[in-house]
Amino acid sequence: MAASDPVATRQPGSASTSQRPVEAKTAAAPIFPQLQNNAAAESMASGAATTSRAGTAADDNDDDEPAVARPFLRTSSPDSAAHIPEDDDYGAGGGPSAKAIHRMHKFTVYETASRFYIVGCDITEKRFHILKIDRTAGDASELTITDDKTVYTQKDMNQLINTIDDGNKGTGGLKLRCTTWGLLGFIKFTGPWYLLLITKKSTVAMIGGHYVYQIDATNLIPMTPPGFKMDQRDTEESRFLGILNNLDLTRSFYYSYSYDITRTLQHNIARERNALVNGQQPCDIDNDLNPMFVWNSHLLGPAAKVLGAPYDWFRPIIHGYIDQAALSIYGKTAHITVIARRSRYFAGARFLKRGANDLGYVANDVETEQIVSEALTTSFHAPGPKFFANPSYTSYVQHRGSIPLHWTQDNTGVTPKPPIEINLVDPFYTAAALHFDNLFERYGAPIYVLNLVKSRERAPREGKLLEEYTRAIDYLNQFLPDNKKIIHRAWDMSRAAKDRNQDVIGTLESIAEDVVTTTGFFHNGDGHISPIRVQNGVARTNCIDCLDRTNAAQFVIGKRALGHQLHALGILENTVIKYDTDAVNLFTHMYHDHGDTIAMQYGGSQLVNTMETYRQINQWTSHSRDMIESFKRYYNNSFLDGQRQEAYNLFLGNYIFAQGQPMLWDLATDYYLHHENPRTWIDKRKRDYIRWYTPAFLNERVLVPYPPLTSRLPALHKPVPVHDDYWLEYYRPNIVSSFARMFSFKMNSTIKYIPLRFTMNGRYDLSPFQVRGEHTEAEDYNSKKPKKEVTILTPHDLARLNTEDAPEAGSLENEKNGALSTSNPSRGISLQRWLQPSAQERRVQGIMKDTAYSTDGEHGYANGFSKAKPSALEKSRAAQWTFTKVVHESLNPTVSAAEAEDYARYISHPHTLPLVVSAESPAVGEMEPEYQEYLHGSWQSEGLAATALPKPGHEDEMALYVEMLQVGDNPLTVTEEDALKKRYKAYRKWLRGKSLFKQQPVD
């Protein structure tokens, strides 16, 4: 995939510059354990639309297809196309399919004084078409577009372009206007028509050999004659253009040339399989688009009126989120693709679009699909060939959407949580009935409703919706068959997250398992050798905003479904994937970006509460990020949502300018733009309140088995290009390529996050399903380093080693300087070397030792104190020991020569005591005097006590010593009386910044 420059070049004479570039995230992306990307860690903190695609960008020169389209090559040489082979029987035999001929992939826009000429070529760049648009119509209500159905070769197209250029020499000739990757449609405000183009794209996913692209830059070209100047007094047109520019088309808009991204994988496979079994022609993806997710449907309208096949030229786009990553399992690769499709019906900003409209469409309606496939084969076809029967593809679909009731929130005040008002209480719940009937149509039954709104509040807000929503589902369920009823699961997730005794993730895991086993998931196959699974029903998750809590729940459900999908592909032994594994961490990154993108589109900020919040990890980082995003969301909802809503209404065609009607910015409300006209209610047929659903939608979804290869169906014996043109798009014949340039080898992967330096010792488990602790890799890495060990030797071994080392001058010198030799660790370190400090350590101050004291031979303790008395400043500095130094000195103790001598005398004491403990006491004559005193001493009955009289001035110290010897009933318990004791007072003073021992201020 080529790198995408976020700044698009403005074309000469265009009405406006290209859309704004992709903006980076202001808050750092969450960091998960052991996902420290060695090469692209910085890229993981980029914007939601490009975060999970780190490592996929490359220079334009390092890709088969650059981000910016190259113009059509014009030449006057008659042999310009001699090297291009001619296919007489194009589309038959082994040639490309018919839809590959007509669907254009790259366009070059030329202009003359009277017309625009758009030259389009297919992916092979061998077949060319031309489209003519009249630019002299001015502000006419209809466009004049002519589609020349002739298929040209490059040579023929050159001759045609040169002929047009010669015919317009008198008016300036033919000029190159721009190049583009796709046409999005036409739009009109108060004046001329405009053509919207895709000028830059980047690859974000590959599904079955079909690429999915993200729009990185667009251009708006006015269909006006040369020299046309807009009237400066025509402020309405300029204002409409400004409103349209508020919708950034370079963020989260996607399209594909050969794969229907408006439909789920299960629908696309079932459609093609049914066509095969019924002996029909291969399906054209553009004839079965889901209009709910075609965001440029309004722009495609003018072209659809005058062109017989508008999708040969214009591409439908979706709005939402698409990302793909690779899971590496010991060399085997599985691709995880997340596709979120946002509905264009009742779309808008957070507080301005709540609940449902009269047609049953809800706000923030998003369909999320995760496709998990094994990358052993690329296409949807199994060997044979068995068309659309590859068992390596699985998918699972979820849904989120606002509560399907008529409710609003007024955000005109300054409160971040406006009160919730139920505007209309419908006893028959018509809006909810229409909404659930649409869900039955799209996904089948049952519908599993996971309702995460709050149930207990001081002032009832969300609780009102919970009660009304529950009554709506109870009313609708009484008319459904028993096995098709709506499953309603209400759980106050926000309250559970604040309760330390509740396990939020554990509860979500149990709910997720119930959801996945209830709805099932899609698994392709032929139905004979490989089994077929079909998803029936869907999990519909919602909270009050369908953002934070909803995304966390959808992640857990998706994680559970991921385990089932990998198990079905034969990658996992069971269906459970643990947290803190590379696979789950990568999946968490994808769903965080997915949630951040949807939150930006609906709420104006990224997620406020992430999985880190609910898992209670990285609390400080998570809390600070949550506070920042809360403020951003409040600011956007209060000041910027109105502008975004106007842009949505204009782009989606909810508002169309008409003479005599108020302007978009003059509307007090856009209620009538998203709801039915009340005047049509009388003429509209009333819906049945009892049979509110369509019975056909409740039928079980099935995928017919693949017919036997011995069947005489003609479609089974046709070549692959007739059914699918993935070969042309993925493998790109006649183009010099390499594995390093292919998107499949450059996409984000778990293999990129493995710290290579920790794998050198061979102890690192490369499995993406291995749980990574917080210090697993560091411990693994440090385990190969030899640890410093201390060998405790007996007096006999000590004497032997001293005898062996004595003749060696080097050893004596090392002992003199305190050097510790580690060249032969098997011999160990002698006790004297371990006890004696080195020459450097002798100059380091010991704990509670004044700088006036020394441990060398000249000024050691054996020779007494130094003659030079320390100054007051030196005493003060010596007493200023921090707690860090205390810990350091305790872990690295030093002793004086006298102490070392005492210890050496102690371990060489001639007394020997039995090592075996016996219950019988030895005879009195056999015991040493010290042992007799220990065995029969009075300390057993009288306890330890200070019997010596204290010296004058040291009574407090003696009292403290006696108190220390007395052991209480609960020695580890600190009582109120202990607060008055000296050692606790010293600790409190140290906490206030004073020295730990001398109680002097610390620098």
Lowest average pLDDT, out of 39-43, 391-395, 418-422, 854-858, goes to 39-43
pLDDT value of residue 613: 82
Could you give the maximum distance between any two Cα atoms of the chain, in Å?
134
* pLDDT computed for residue 141 by the predictor: 76
Instruction: For residue 163, give the DSSP letter.
Output: H
Closest CA to 816 of 805, 824, 828: 805
Across residues 276-302, what is the average pLDDT? 88
CA–CA dist 598, 543 (Å, integer): 14
d(CA 450, CA 217): 38
| pLDDT on residue 37 | 35
Q: Counting beta carbons within 10 angstroms of the beta carbon of residue 119, is it exposed (0 to 12), middle (13 to 18) or buried (19 or more)?
A: buried
Dihedral pair phi/psi, residue 174, rounded to 5°: -100, 125
Q: Which DSSP letter does residue 727 get?
A: I
pLDDT digits (tens, 9 = 90+) for 693-736: 999 999 999 999 988 877 778 777 787 877 887 878 887 777 77
| Of the listed ranges 105-114, 626-635, 926-935, the one predicted with least confidence | 926-935
pLDDT at 909: 63
- Evaluate whether 73 touches 752 at the Cβ level (below 8 Å): no
Burial of 451-485, coded b for 16+ CB within 10 Å and e otherwise, reads: bbbbeeeeeebbbbbbebbeebbebbeeebeeebb
Band of the pLDDT at 996, cuts 50, 70, 90?
low
Chain centroid to Cα 273, Å, comes to: 33
- What phi and psi, each to the nearest 5 degrees, are found at residue 340? -115, 120
Whose structure tokens read 């004044």? Answer: 850
Helices of type H across 103-143: none
Q: Read off the pLDDT of each residue in 857-878 and give the average, rounded to a whole number.
A: 55
State how far the Cα of 611 lies from the Cα of 617, in Å rounded to an integer.
Answer: 9
pLDDT at 724: 83
Grade residue 191 by pLDDT with cuts at 50, 70 and 90.
Answer: confident
Please state, in angstroms and rounded to a whole number, the distance separating the CA atoms of residues 71 and 823.
Answer: 70
Find out whether 426 and 407 touch, Cβ atoms under 8 Å: no
The per-residue pLDDT for 856 is: 42
Confidence of residue 419 (pLDDT cuts 50, 70, 90): confident
Mean pLDDT of the chain: 76
562 in Cβ contact with 571 (< 8 Å) = no
Once rounded to an integer, what is the mean pLDDT over residues 638-661?
Answer: 86
The two tokens of residue 871 are 């100054």
- pTM, entire model: 0.71
Beta-bridge partner residues of 185: 196
State the pLDDT at residue 837.
41
| CA angle (325, 327, 328) in 5-degree steps | 135
* Residue 340 · residue 312 · CB < 8 Å: no
Whether pLDDT at 546 is above 50: yes
- pLDDT at res. 875: 65
Q: Which of 97-111, 250-264, 928-942, 969-983 has the highest mean pLDDT?
A: 250-264
pLDDT in tens, 330-385: 888 999 999 999 999 999 888 889 999 999 999 999 999 999 999 888 889 988 78
Structure tokens at 374: 């094994």
Contact 372, 332 (CB under 8 A): no
Q: What is the mean predicted confidence (pLDDT) over 560-571?
A: 95
Segment 65-94 shows an average pLDDT of 52
| Distance between CA atoms of residues 768 and 765, nearest Å | 8
Torsion-angle region of 206 (φ positive above 0: left; ψ -120 to 50: alpha; else: beta): beta
pLDDT, residue 911, reads 55
| Separation between Cα atoms, residue 81 and residue 954, nearest integer Å | 109
> For residues 109 and 177, is the Cβ–Cβ distance under 8 A?
yes
- Tokens representing 832? 């004297």
**Residue 157: its pLDDT value, please?**
92
User: Which residue in 560, 749, 549, 625 sits closest to 52, CA to CA?
Assistant: 749
Give dist(CA 737, CA 345) in Å, integer: 42
Alpha-carbon Rg of the chain, whole angstroms?
Answer: 39
Residue type, 467: E
407: helix, coil or strand?
strand
CB atoms within 10 A of CB 975: 8
pLDDT tens-digit profile of 209-222? 999 999 999 999 99
Q: How many C-beta atoms lie closer than 10 Å to residue 118's C-beta? A: 23
**Confidence band of 935 (pLDDT split at 50, 70, 90):** low
pLDDT band per the 50, 70, 90 thresholds, residue 878: low
pLDDT band at 438 (very low <50, low <70, confident <90, very high): very high
Angle between helices 548-568 and 504-519 (to 10 degrees): 50
Amino acid 39: pLDDT: 35
**Among all chains, which residue has been given the structure tokens 């980029």?**
46
Q: Encoding tokens for residue 219? A: 């251009």
pLDDT of 148 over the 60 cut = yes
The closest of 464, 476, 478 to 440, measured between CA atoms, is 476
Lowest-confidence region among 46-50, 181-185, 232-236, 324-328? 46-50
Secondary structure of 205-254 as H, E, C letters: EEECCEEEEEEEEEEEEECCCCCCCCCCCCHHHHHHHHHHHCCCCCCCEE
C-alpha torsion 682→427→432→404, nearest 10: 110
pLDDT classification of 471: cutoffs 50, 70, 90: very high
Percent of the chain residues topping a pLDDT of 90: 36
Distance between CA atoms of residues 894 and 834, nearest Å: 10
Helix (H, G, I), strand (E, B) or coil at 147: strand
Distance CA 558, CA 397 (A): 9
Q: Are 185 and 314 in contact (CB under 8 A)?
A: yes
User: Residue 844: helix, strand or coil by DSSP?
Assistant: coil
Residue 281 backbone phi and psi in degrees, to 5: -70, 155
Mean pLDDT, residues 923-943 taken together: 64
Compute the distance between CA of residue 393 and CA of residue 207 in angstroms, rounded to an integer.
10
Phi, then psi, of 121 in degrees rounded to 5: -130, 155
Q: Which residues contact 781 (CB under 8 A, 6 or more apart)?
A: 755, 757, 758, 761
pLDDT value of residue 916: 54
* H or E element, residue 496: helix 493-498
Task: Give the pLDDT score at 383.
Answer: 85
Distance in angstroms between the alpha carbons of the first and the last residue of the chain: 57
- The residue among 771, 921, 904 whose CA lies nearest residue 832 is 904
pLDDT at 201: 93
CA distances from 585 to 513, 579, 589 (A): 19, 7, 6
Angle at the Cα of 11 (from 187 to 182), degrees rounded to 5?
Answer: 55
Angle at 413 between CA 409 and CA 417, to 5 degrees: 50
Nearest Cα to Cα of residue 981 among 1000, 1002, 966, 1003: 966
pLDDT for the residue numbered 28:
41
Give pLDDT, residue 897.
85
Residue 914: pLDDT band (50, 70, 90) is low
- Distance, in Å, from the CA atom of 277 to the CA atom of 972, rounded to the nearest integer, reads 79
Q: What is the pLDDT of residues 784-840, one digit of tens each?
A: 455 555 555 555 555 555 554 444 444 434 443 433 333 333 333 333 333 344 433
- C-alpha to C-alpha distances, 988 to 269, 293, 567, 881, nearest whole angstrom: 72, 65, 58, 16
Say yes or no to pLDDT of 60 above 60: no
Please tell me the total number of residues recorded for the chain in this structure.
1003
| Burial of 13 from C-beta contacts in 10 A (0-12 / 13-18 / 19+) | middle
Measured between alpha carbons, how far is 339 from 290 in angstroms, rounded to an integer? Answer: 15
pLDDT value at residue 327: 93
Distance from C-alpha of 643 to C-alpha of 875, rounded to nearest angstrom? 70
Query: Residue 729: what pLDDT?
Result: 81
**What pLDDT does 900 receive?**
84
Which run of H or of E encompasses 179? Answer: strand 175-180
